[in-house]
Structure 1
Amino acid sequence: MTSDASPVEKSALASFLRARRAALTPQAVGLPVDANRRVRGLRREEVARLAGISAEYYRRLEQGSGHQMSLQVCNSLARALRLDRAGMAYLQRLALPDSEARYEVHQGEEPPPDLVEMITHWDHTAAYIIDRNQDILVVNDLIRAVAPGYVEVGNNLALMQFEAPPELRELPSWLDGARTTVSRVRYYGNPSDARWQQIIALLLEDDDFRRMWREHEALPLTSGVAPNYFPAHGWVEMKWQILEAHAGLYTVVCYGIPGSVGERALVELRAALLDGTAQLPTPGASTPTSNSRLAQYRGSGRRGLGEDGDRGDGEHPRATD
């Protein structure tokens, strides 16, 4: 396995710089087009010139042989690579690790009681709370009914995303959701965090994940569309939106566009829950992907590995974004 695919890369900064350089074209940065050009993306010398730094210094950055740099150089590189605000923040986190408290993963902490109370009492909105590692910490009844056996406390969104069977992976919304999942695991991941290492090590066995991981996209949580299955409607695309109500914790709200099949399916499900005709899943409920490779890690949450390597029997999950 190459260093690009390693759970704890030799240098995430080097990998990110290489990926972003490869993704740029000369036209995008105002350089003349050469019909005989064989280099994918920009050359190292071109990035260095655009950033106003020496080619040798930039070469060392991409090789991971030390990356001490000033904020000024970091910002110059961000401009040269045409990074947006999120990309610049991610680059600064990699290049200037001591400049701020970088990671707020709530290991062993309980979410604020008021936030938990709000989510669990929302009977009209399907919602749940995750941390930076994409572990599910809090769920309400409606989201459990939307994704029975999947969206449960202790499950992990990234692992669930890549549990999807082949027929689901053919949907454009799954591909978009998978790319979003990989980019946010990159953006928020702390390579020194044991839980993050466990998640990435498992996912690197998946061909789709490995391909996306090498692209080194890094984006924060925002919004998107994901397929969810409703017996009366089949696979229905639901929208999701992220609300950061507490540092390091993210509330995921799932809803249907007004007038859409998704809205109708959600309204019908809520009514069925209220009148008792729909039941919530029991712990350990079977799902269409119960026999998948990753299903054995359901419910392992942030407990980590035991001395014998066991992660626990777990309960349930599914890729809702």
Structure 2
Amino acid sequence: MTSDRPGSEKSALASFLRARRAALTPDAVGIPPEPRRRVRGLRREEVARLAGISAEYYRRLEQGSGHQMSLQVCNSLARALHLDRAGTAYLQRLALPDSEAPYEVHQGEEPPPDLVEMITHWEHTAAYIIDRNQDIVVVNDLIRAVAPGYVEVGNNLALMQFEAPPEVRALDSWQDGARTTVSRVRYYGNPSDPRWQEIIGLLLDDADFAEMWDQHEALPLTSGTAPNHFPEHGWVDMKWQILEAHPGLYTVICYGIPGTVGERALVDLRANLIAGTVTIPASDTDTPTSGSRLAKHRGATR
């Protein structure tokens, strides 16, 4: 399958509708089985009928030539396509781009000072802040020690995710984390934002990303698991949790579940950081991804 390149809301809407239609089976929506049916998923006419709209109007929507739909039609399509709450919100964002201000990306703006102070003074908690494009805007010392050279202001989580070497990509936690990254980049992305277009354009050259992108999953930031390397423990799965810190900004908290290797690894790392046996690289130090194809295209350091 050829992955869709980033573009306007209309092209993104058309791609999303086609993908969701292909993902639904007739049985899931109560359509009787047809022995010789060859169509993958539902037919356009079937979706239109379920949504209560004309087949021609729906065809134009899937071709990216339809007019802006109403909220009522948008919700009808969401029901017809069996979208969940996140999927419905994403559909509304694409279909009704002028109805609100859904894309709050802090490009070139400084995060609120109080928020920066809180994050940087958390000594026992590894945390950082990202914007809707997954660009890192604030970090504290402990998270920099967890991922030296990676979790740094100006880096981008999506680009870094797909710089992982084969041995990391083989981990189940990497696969889960990568799918999460792809789905949230799509969910929060503004197809008209040049920075978002740049990120997606680069990543579509990666086979793993392109395959996940073609699934058209769109999910908000919540929580998950990601592998991190600790010198004394090797690759350790760490939990992460998202808190919306400010409109368009999200705090990522990295932690280990009590009683697990993840908890011990983080405690040991903090102790070594305080003792000076572990140091944080200077901002101008070469990182594990310096010189890579993707590293050259990260956001500007604030």
Category of TM-score, reference length = shorter chain = over 0.9
Deviation per CA, 1:25-44: give whole Å up to 9, x if none. Answer: 12221222233221111111
Higher mean displacement: 218-227 or 285-294: 285-294
Gaps of 5+ in 1: 304-321
* Secondary structure at the counterpart of residue 133 of structure 1: coil
1:286 Cα shift?
4.2
For residues 244 and 194 of structure 2, what CA distance do their matches in structure 1 show?
Answer: 24
Q: Is the 8 A contact 1:130 1:136 kept in 2?
A: yes
Q: Is the 8 A contact 1:127 1:252 kept in 2?
A: yes
* Secondary structure at the counterpart of residue 28 of structure 2: helix
Structure 2 CA distance for partners of 1:129 and 1:267, relative to 1, 3 Å = same
Residue in 2 that maps onto 1:35: 35
Structure 2 CA distance for partners of 1:35 and 1:290, relative to 1, 3 Å = farther
Q: How many percent of aligned residue pairs carry the same amino acid? A: 82
Q: Tell me, yes or no, if structure 1 residue 227 matches structure 2 residue 227.
A: yes
Aligned residues: 301
Alignment of 1:145-156 (within 5 A): 145-156=145-156
* Secondary structure at the counterpart of residue 232 of structure 1: coil
Residue in 1 that maps onto 2:300: 301
* Secondary structure at the counterpart of residue 11 of structure 1: helix
For residues 302 and 188 of structure 1, what CA distance do their matches in structure 2 show?
Answer: 22
Q: Tell me, yes or no, if structure 1 residue 5 matches structure 2 residue 43.
A: no
Higher mean displacement: 196-205 or 31-40: 31-40
Residue in 2 that maps onto 1:83: 83
1:167 Cα shift?
1.2
Q: Is the 8 A contact 2:154 2:300 kept in 1?
A: yes
Q: Is the 8 A contact 2:121 2:140 kept in 1?
A: yes
Structure 2 CA distance for partners of 1:302 and 1:267, relative to 1, 3 Å = closer
Higher mean displacement: 121-130 or 93-102: 93-102
Gaps of 5+ in 2: none
Q: Is the 8 A contact 1:126 1:254 kept in 2?
A: yes
Residue in 1 that maps onto 2:274: 274
For residues 244 and 205 of structure 1, what CA distance do their matches in structure 2 show?
Answer: 31
For residues 276 and 212 of structure 1, what CA distance do their matches in structure 2 show?
Answer: 41
For residues 297 and 271 of structure 1, what CA distance do their matches in structure 2 show?
Answer: 34
AA matched with 1:7:
P
Deviation per CA, 1:203-253: give whole Å up to 9, x if none. Answer: 111111112222211111111100000111111000100000210000000
Residue in 1 that maps onto 2:142: 142
Residue in 2 that maps onto 1:50: 50
AA matched with 2:179:
R
AA matched with 2:33:
V
* Secondary structure at the counterpart of residue 173 of structure 2: helix
Q: Is the 8 A contact 1:135 1:301 kept in 2?
A: no
Residue in 2 that maps onto 1:260: 260
Q: Is the 8 A contact 1:14 1:64 kept in 2?
A: yes
1:287 Cα shift?
4.4
Q: Tell me, yes or no, if structure 1 residue 131 matches structure 2 residue 141.
A: no
Residue in 2 that maps onto 1:188: 188
Deviation per CA, 1:63-100: give whole Å up to 9, x if none. Answer: 11123211111100000111111111111111111111
AA matched with 1:5:
D
Structure 2 CA distance for partners of 1:204 and 1:302, relative to 1, 3 Å = farther
Q: Is the 8 A contact 2:6 2:12 kept in 1?
A: no
1:290 Cα shift?
3.8
* Secondary structure at the counterpart of residue 238 of structure 1: strand
Residue in 2 that maps onto 1:161: 161
Moved over 6 A (4+): none
Higher mean displacement: 198-207 or 11-20: 198-207
**TM-score of the superposition, structure 1-length normalised?**
0.89
AA matched with 2:192:
S
AA matched with 1:108:
G
Q: Is the 8 A contact 1:165 1:289 kept in 2?
A: no
Structure 2 CA distance for partners of 1:162 and 1:285, relative to 1, 3 Å = same
* Secondary structure at the counterpart of residue 130 of structure 1: strand
For residues 41 and 174 of structure 1, what CA distance do their matches in structure 2 show?
Answer: 29
* Secondary structure at the counterpart of residue 294 of structure 2: helix
**TM-score of the superposition, structure 2-length normalised?**
0.95
* Secondary structure at the counterpart of residue 239 of structure 2: strand
* Secondary structure at the counterpart of residue 39 of structure 1: coil
